[in-house]
């Protein structure tokens, strides 16, 4: 083993653990040392659970020595966004409103990971209640981008993105209601998946918008992501949104590449509807050319304008988030960060008629995407329209945060993945693309993402030490 353990992708660490060439204790110890070195600059963690995680790692090591690993995640450290319940620990949602809340049980997805043998080193920073940020008037500082700590890491799964990109952890969980897994994956140079709606249980995850929320894996490679999803996915009768769909081996087609796949390029999202920065636009064109060189057929497809998807998402998210937060907004409005309160309050004024009309239009938007999939196997689009801006530039954060093409697939529920596709010249920050598949076609999505990842030069790039 030539690389430090914390630098290993999940799959490589798992293979070494299975071969008895790396122990879970060695892996966790190296991750904890990395956290100690970098955390003062990145603020990725809300709560570090060093002693508990070490006990889990020792137990995993002993069990593996007796009979081998339970799964590829046995002994692997996985971080949890702090809206995801971990039994016996606070789920603060990065908010003073939840400082005293202690989870009585693991979230369903945590229970699945625990059964697979994963280790949980800590709870990770988020934007307050996952509705956007960063905010500097909260009990915890906002996470920062490991590629340049002066810059935004994306959100709301900001700590998850920062921790995995900085090689503090091999994997983390985020949540995605309007792009909150794919946004930090894009800005931090990671692989981030929003699964098909209902494939992964949300039980034990604090809700933002019931019909838009997803839980997704964030990793450094496509294979790692597929391994994590294979443990996370599956039906849950206690989640009303569960699709009752069994997990699959999502790694089965990773070797097949993109040859023969028909990929529809939604150019109008970033060319006409919301013009992207020249660097992002050029990176997307280069990615399309590379996919074509690898054997995919690329053709333009047209969907409804990006603004229509955004308007539907805004109405639904606003109304559903207001339903979650109504009591606190009436009784404790001053306990929210200023930005969080500003984003939540408009939802109190979405009428029942507006909500119903948004859901009706949503059905039509789903049908439009389904019609596109009758002609192509996958869709390619922008993720963010701009590289990450400075985290302390409130005006630029506000301008760029909504300049993205992730929201459409929260509205429609289709699985979508962000993969690194370039580096900005001026700041040396990651750029990302988005691939989208038909419902429950995650294995196909991973196949294409892995084919691109192998052919592109970005996989081995990482933030420079600082």
Q: What is the pLDDT of residues 294-322, one digit of tens each?
A: 999 999 999 999 999 999 999 999 999 99
97-123 average pLDDT score = 97
Measured CA to CA, the distance from residue 102 to residue 88 in angstroms comes to 6
Q: Which residues are catalytic?
A: 81, 156, 180
Mean pLDDT of 388-412: 96
Residue 132 pLDDT class (50, 70, 90 cuts): confident
> To 5 degrees, how large is the angle CA 135–CA 183–CA 39?
55
Quick one: average pLDDT of 376-387? 98
Instruction: Quote the CA–CA distance of 127 and 142 in Å, as a whole number.
Output: 7
Q: Residue 139 pLDDT more than 80?
A: yes
Write the DSSP string, 376-416.
-SEEEEESBSS---BTT-HHHHHHHHT-BS-THHHHH---E
Q: What is the distance, to the nearest Å, from the Cα of residue 245 to the centroid of all Cα atoms in its chain?
A: 21
Q: What is the pLDDT of residues 43-88, one digit of tens each?
A: 999 999 999 999 999 999 999 999 999 999 999 999 999 999 999 9
Contact 177, 394 (CB under 8 A): no
Tokens of 141: 């500082």
Which pLDDT value is given to residue 460?
83
Q: What pLDDT score does 1 carry?
A: 62
pLDDT tens-digit map of 190-203: 999 999 999 999 99
In this predicted structure, the answer to whether residue 465 has a pLDDT above a threshold of 80 is no
pLDDT at 56: 98
Residues with Cβ within 8 Å of 25's Cβ and at least 6 positions away in sequence, in order, are 54, 57, 58, 61
What is the pLDDT averaged over residues 147-172?
97
pLDDT of 466 over the 70 cut = no
- CA-nearest of 414, 432, 415 to 423 is 432
CA 225: distance to chain centroid? 10
355 pLDDT exceeds 80?
A: yes
Residue 149 pLDDT greater than 80, yes or no:
yes
Residue 426 CA, chain-centre distance (Å), reads 25
- Region 359-383 average pLDDT: 98
- What mean pLDDT value characterizes the chain? 97
> pLDDT above 70 covers what percent of the chain?
99
Between CA 302 and CA 121 the distance in angstroms is 44
pLDDT tens readout for residues 323-333: 999 999 999 99
Tokens of 302: 């047209």
- Fold observed for domain 5-455: Amidase signature (AS) enzymes (3.90.1300)
Helix-strand-coil percent breakdown of the chain, rounded to 5?
45, 15, 45
Taking the C-alpha atoms of residue 434 and residue 330, their distance in angstroms, rounded to an integer, is 39
pLDDT higher than threshold 90 for residue 3: no
d(CA 176, CA 84): 12
């Amino acid at each position: 083993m030539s690389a430090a353990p914390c630098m290993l992708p999940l799959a490589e660490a798992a293979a070494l653990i299975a071969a008895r060439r790396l122990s879970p204790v060695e892996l966790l110890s190296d991750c904890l040392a990395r956290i100690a070195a970098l955390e003062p600059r990145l603020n990725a963690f809300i709560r570090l659970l060093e002693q508990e995680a070490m006990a889990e790692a020792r137990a995993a090591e002993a069990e593996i020595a007796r009979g081998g690993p339970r799964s590829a995640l046995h002994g692997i450290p996985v971080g949890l966004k702090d809206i995801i319940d971990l039994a016996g620990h606070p789920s603060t949602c990065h908010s003073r409103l939840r400082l005293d809340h202690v989870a009585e049980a693991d979230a369903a997805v945590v229970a699945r990971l625990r059964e697979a043998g994963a280790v949980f080193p800590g709870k990770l920073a988020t934007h307050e209640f996952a509705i956007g940020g960063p905010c500097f008037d909260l009990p915890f500082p906002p996470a920062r981008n490991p590629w340049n700590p002066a810059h935004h890491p994306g959100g709301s799964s900001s700590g998850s993105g920062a921790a995995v990109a900085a090689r503090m952890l091999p994997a983390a969980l985020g949540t995605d209601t309007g792009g909150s897994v794919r946004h930090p994956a894009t800005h931090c140079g990671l692989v981030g998946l929003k699964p098909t709606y209902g494939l992964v249980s949300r039980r034990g995850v604090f809700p933002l918008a019931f019909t838009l929320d997803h839980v997704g894996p964030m990793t450094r490679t496509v294979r790692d992501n597929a391994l994590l999803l294979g443990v996370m996915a599956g039906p849950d009768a206690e989640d009303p949104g569960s699709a009752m769909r069994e997990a699959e081996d999502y790694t089965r087609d990773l070797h097949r590449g993109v040859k023969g796949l028909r990929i529809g390029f939604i150019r109008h999202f970033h060319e006409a509807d919301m013009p992207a920065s020249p660097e992002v636009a050029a990176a997307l064109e280069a990615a399309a050319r590379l996919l074509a060189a690898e054997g995919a057929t690329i053709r333009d497809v047209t969907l409804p304008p990006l603004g229509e998807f955004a308007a539907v998402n805004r109405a639904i998210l606003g109304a559903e988030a207001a339903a979650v937060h109504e009591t606190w907004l009436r009784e404790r409005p001053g306990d929210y960060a200023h930005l969080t309160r500003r984003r939540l309050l408009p939802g109190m004024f979405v009428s029942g008629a507006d909500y119903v009309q948004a859901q009706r239009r949503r059905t039509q938007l789903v049908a439009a995407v389904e019609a596109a999939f009758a002609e192509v196997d996958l869709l390619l689009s922008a993720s963010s329209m701009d590289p990450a801006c400075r985290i302390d530039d409130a005006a630029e954060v506000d301008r760029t945060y909504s300049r993205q093409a992730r929201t459409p697939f929260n509205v429609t529920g289709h699985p979508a993945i962000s993969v690194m596709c370039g580096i900005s010249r001026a700041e040396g920050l990651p750029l990302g693309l988005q691939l989208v598949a038909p419902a429950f076609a995650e294995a196909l999505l991973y196949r294409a993402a892995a084919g691109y990842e192998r052919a592109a030069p970005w996989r081995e790039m990482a933030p420079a030490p600082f």
